[in-house]
Amino acid sequence: MSAVSHPVMDHGHAPARPAAIAVEHIWKRYGDFEAVKDVNFSVAEGEIFGLLGPNGAGKSTLIRMMTTLIPVTAGKAVVGGHDVSRDPDDVRCAIGVIPQAMTSDPDLTVEENLSIYAKLYGVPRGAREKNISDVLDAVDLAKWRGAQTKTLSGGMRRRLEIARGLVHNPRIFFLDEPTTGLDPVSRIAVWEMLNKLKVTRNLTMLITTHYMEEADKLCDRIAIVDHGTLVALGTPVELKNSVAGANVVEVHFDRQDDAWQGRMESMDGVTSVVSEGGGFYRVITRSGSKTTMEIVELAARLGETLTSLSVQNTTLDDVFIHYTGRQLRDEQVKAVTFALPPRPGVRP
Amino acid sequence: MNRLLAIVEREMRKFFRSPSLMVMSLISPILQLVIMGNAFGGKIVGTHVAVVDQDHGPQAVKVHEAFDAVAANIQTFSTIEYNNEVQAREDVRTGKIDAAVIIPPQYSRRVYAQDAPRIGIVVDNSDLFTSSTLESEMQSLVDSLNAPQVQDRLARSVALEVVELYPYVNYLKFLMPATVALSMYISVMIGGGILYLDDKARGVHEGYLVTPITKLELVFGLNIAGAIKAMLAGISLGVIGSLLAGLSVVFHPMQMLQLLALIVASSIAFNGMMFLFMVRVDDPLVPRAMFGVLNTLLFYPSGAMYPTTSFPKWLQALTIVDPFTYVIHGLKAVLLKNGGWIAIWQDLAFLSIFGIASLLVATPLFKRTL
Ligand SMILES: Nc1ncnc2c1ncn2[C@@H]1O[C@H](COP(=O)(O)OP(=O)(O)O)[C@@H](O)[C@H]1O
Ligand SMILES: [Mg+2]
């Protein structure tokens, strides 16, 4: 793996609007284990900010500290102008939170779920009815108002939870993996809904995700989190540009040989080569066509067979690999194989 | 206050929407007690006893006659003739028959000579209930053989006695206090234990904790709802059970008021206790595992089914701190004896103090964060 260049790190920086969320040197320890290590960032008002990282990176831990769910070990977080450790109730009133788990009540109706939360948030009696109708319209669930929550699909339940988080008209909205576990169609519907809400309700949003595509499509700025630290931060475009080299060449040799990595790294324009095993390499280069030709020549000279060869533009995947040295997809695949016991006839 | 009521509202809506908690807390105490009552309190019938007659004298015939009388009347056992003692012992051991009676050679001669005549009985003492029933049955038969002039009448009076000991309605009445107490306990165990931790594991509490609800509002909301559920279970069983068992409490306002007071105090006590047990637990398996242990530990020593006076010291100490003891004592006083306030005020006081003290200890232990 090539040396990790310095991330686009501009800690306190955000566009010249006031910060809705400011996190300064925040730490979380569980015993000896450091789940979050010295993280800094700030989110401007009206921004959609993404925390992108694999399972166990510390995203939920970060969001839980910002939403007053767990105490901060060191450092501070200011949300909506209030310190989470000193004025947790002010923070709670200013924010809406969608936890990672589905926490809507399956035994209650859609409306009851919302009305209980309106009461918990202290929405005055006179405003409750209107707020509930408004948020139900906003998430397209108005006609399911009287339905039992357990009869809703996963995507609809997620939308109900989004509505629940907005029932007291917060300014700042935290969503922990809002689309994990949803099918692709529901996922896109949630993205569209969040984009619409951002505009119509003038919301600041902080979203965690382990989907590259989600971060890319939805977020104004992205922070890549790995092993409890923030390894890169910037707009999706900035992040992609920060990875030296404009193209990715994916090359698959017939067999694995460790000597190839060095040979490809020494090619002109190549900035990094990542071996993924089995003769499969991702080569980041400033010139896709030139590198492709050189690889073909290399193979011909050595009498090796190329199974496949392709050229692409850099994606956030490459950004992630660049900054963490690992592929985000690998973790997901592992997580899935772990969760689902092997079944006969089904290969993970 | 509004927030506290929102928590209560959520719990009660859930409670009425999925009636499984209510049904379980009404059905399972009834089942438990009816089955337990029959297992322990019911008489044993239909066992098989081998008779090995090695004497064949006139006194042995008398023994046979006495056995036949038992078989015909109270039906505790019927007899099977064996002529081989070894075979009879083996069959008791393998469970083919429940006991074997051996009338030894020279039995009749010894009776006439008044030379300590003996009849042997072989029982399977790994089955305590059957063997002790048979032993006592045999003992009374032997006693009656010792007084030959009243033998027949005695055999019949034994039969009569057994029938009158367990008339159905009386048994039902006797079970009432324990049933009402168990219904409240099971409601609290399921609602305050199992469902509470399931909610916690599913993240329902995480949802609450991001709202500005205070710790006290949350603790009292959950506990008020828990106590109300237990009260509903107790009142339902108290009223329905009393009507079924023919107890007149429902028609006497003062007695009814006493019953209500006891149910309220018991619900507070049980609920407070459960909240204290569960306040720092996260694993939903814990209350499931505790269910049976607590049941045994709290219900059996309470005097609900068995008198506590014969308990060893340590068990009596448990009885004193066990809220079940006071619930049962109070319910017996109201339902079976109509003892008035004077008979239950101590129970009411203990239960209320116990419940409130548990809450006072548990509240600081309750975490407002995850
Ligand atoms: N209560 C806890 N006690 C100990 N370790 C924890 C606790 N909560 C989370 N962790 C650990 O902190 C790390 C980050 O977890 P989390 O923030 O949930 O990751 P993510 O949301 O990014 O998947 C993980 O290694 C996890 O095991
Ligand atoms: Mg997470």
Residue spans of alpha helices (H) in A201-310: 212-218, 236-242, 259-265, 288-302
Phi, psi of A176 (to 5 degrees): -95, 110
User: What proportion of chain B, given as a percentage, has pLDDT over 90?
Assistant: 40
In this structure, are A165 and A251 located in the same domain? no
| Contact residues, chain A, for B213 at CB < 8 Å | 120
Point out the ligand 1 atom lying closest to the alpha carbon of residue A53.
22
What does chain B come to in residues?
370
Q: Please tell me the pTM assigned to this model.
A: 0.77
Q: Does ligand 1 come within 6 angstroms of the Cβ of A35?
A: yes
Question: Which residues are CB-contacts of A70 (< 8 A; sequence separation ≥ 6)?
Answer: A28, A61, A64, B369, B370
Q: Which residues pair with B239 in a beta bridge?
A: none
DSSP reduced 3-state for B246: coil
Residue minimizing CA distance to atom 18 of ligand 1: A60
Q: Are B304 and B178 a contacting pair, CB within 8 Å?
A: yes
In this structure, are A203 and A230 located in the same domain? yes
Q: Which of A104, A108, A121 is facing B211, going by the closest CB pair?
A: A121
Here the CATH number for the domain that contains residue A290 is 3.30.70.100
In this structure, are A148 and A249 located in the same domain? no
Q: Please count the residue pairs, one from chain A and one from chain B, whose beta carbons lie less than 8 angstroms apart.
A: 72
Domain range holding A253? Answer: 244-313
Express each pLDDT in A15-60 by its tens digit.
Answer: 556 789 999 999 999 999 999 999 999 999 999 999 999 889 999 9
**Degrees, nearest 5: CA angle A54-A59-A60:** 120
The pLDDT value given to residue A329:
55
Q: Check residue A279 and report its DSSP letter.
A: T
Q: Are A187 and A151 a contacting pair, CB within 8 Å?
A: no
Residues with CB under 5 A from ligand 2 (ion): A 60, 100
Tell me if A273 is assigned to some domain.
Answer: yes
Q: Which residues pair with A41 in a beta bridge?
A: A23
The owner of tokens 């992609």 is A240
- B203 Cα: distance to centroid of ligand 2 (angstroms): 13
Tell me if A85 is assigned to some domain.
Answer: yes
Question: How many domains in chain A?
Answer: 2
The pLDDT value given to residue B123:
80
Helix (H) / strand (E) element for A41: namely strand A33-44
- B212 Cα: distance to centroid of ligand 1 (angstroms): 24
In this structure, are A61 and A162 located in the same domain? yes
pLDDT band at B45 (very low <50, low <70, confident <90, very high): confident
Q: Which of B2, B10, B212 is facing A92, going by the closest CB pair?
A: B212
In this structure, are A258 and A165 located in the same domain? no
Ordered by where they begin, the domains of chain B are 2-39+170-365 (no CATH), 47-146 (3.40.1710.10)
C-beta atoms of B10 and A121 within 8 A: no
- The neighbour count for residue B35, using CB atoms within 10 Å, is 11
Q: Which of B14, B213, B369 is facing A70, going by the closest CB pair?
A: B369
Could you give the CA distance from residue B337 to residue B178 in angstroms, rounded to a whole number? Answer: 15
DSSP string, B54-70: S--SHHHHHHHHHHHHH
Q: Does ligand 1 come within 6 angstroms of the Cβ of A54?
A: no
Could you give the CA distance from residue A236 to residue A320 in angstroms, rounded to a whole number? Answer: 11
Here the CATH number for the domain that contains residue A13 is 3.40.50.300
In the chain, the amino acid numbered A20 is A
Could you give the CA distance from residue B284 to residue B115 in angstroms, rounded to a whole number? Answer: 69
Q: Does ligand 1 come within 6 angstroms of the Cβ of A52?
A: no
CA-based nearest residue to A203, from A347, A334, A98: A98
In this structure, are A39 and A91 located in the same domain? yes
The pLDDT value given to residue B102:
86
In this structure, are A155 and A261 located in the same domain? no
In this structure, are A86 and A219 located in the same domain? yes
Residue minimizing CA distance to atom 7 of ligand 1: A30
Tell me the ligand closest to A180's alpha carbon: 2
In this structure, are A236 and A135 located in the same domain? yes
The pLDDT value given to residue B95:
82
Q: Which of A101, A112, A116 is facing B203, going by the closest CB pair?
A: A101
Q: Does ligand 1 come within 6 angstroms of the Cβ of A61?
A: yes
The pLDDT value given to residue A276:
84
DSSP string, B257-288: HHHHHHHHHHHHHHHHHHHHHHTT---THHHH
- Which is it for strands A82-83 and A74-79: parallel, antiparallel or unpaired? antiparallel
C-beta atoms of B212 and A89 within 8 A: yes
In this structure, are A23 and A116 located in the same domain? yes
Could you give the CA distance from residue A180 to residue A160 in angstroms, rounded to a whole number? Answer: 15
Q: Does ligand 1 come within 6 angstroms of the Cβ of A58?
A: yes
Could you give the CA distance from residue B201 to residue A240 in angstroms, rounded to a whole number? Answer: 39
The pLDDT value given to residue A143:
96
Tell me: pLDDT of B266 over 70: yes
Distance from the Cα of A289 to chain B's closest Cα (Å) equals 52
Suggest the residue from A63, A116, A148 to mutate for an interface test with chain B (most B CBs closer than 10 A). Answer: A116
The pLDDT value given to residue B352:
97
End of a domain among A189, A216, A240?
A240
End of a domain among A240, A263, A293?
A240
In this structure, are A253 and A218 located in the same domain? no
Tell me: pLDDT of B168 over 80: no
- A35 Cα: distance to centroid of ligand 1 (angstroms): 6
DSSP string, A167-188: TT--SEEEEESTTTT--HHHHH
In this structure, are A208 and A87 located in the same domain? yes
Q: Does ligand 1 come within 6 angstroms of the Cβ of A30?
A: yes
What does chain A come to in residues?
348
Tell me if A340 is assigned to some domain.
Answer: no
| Contact residues, chain A, for B5 at CB < 8 Å | 119
Could you give the CA distance from residue A114 to residue A141 in angstroms, rounded to a whole number? Answer: 12
pLDDT band at A94 (very low <50, low <70, confident <90, very high): very high
Point out the ligand 1 atom lying closest to the alpha carbon of residue A30.
4
Tell me if A326 is assigned to some domain.
Answer: no
The owner of tokens 């069983």 is B237
Question: Which residues are CB-contacts of B341 (< 8 A; sequence separation ≥ 6)?
Answer: B258
C-beta atoms of A116 and B210 within 8 A: no
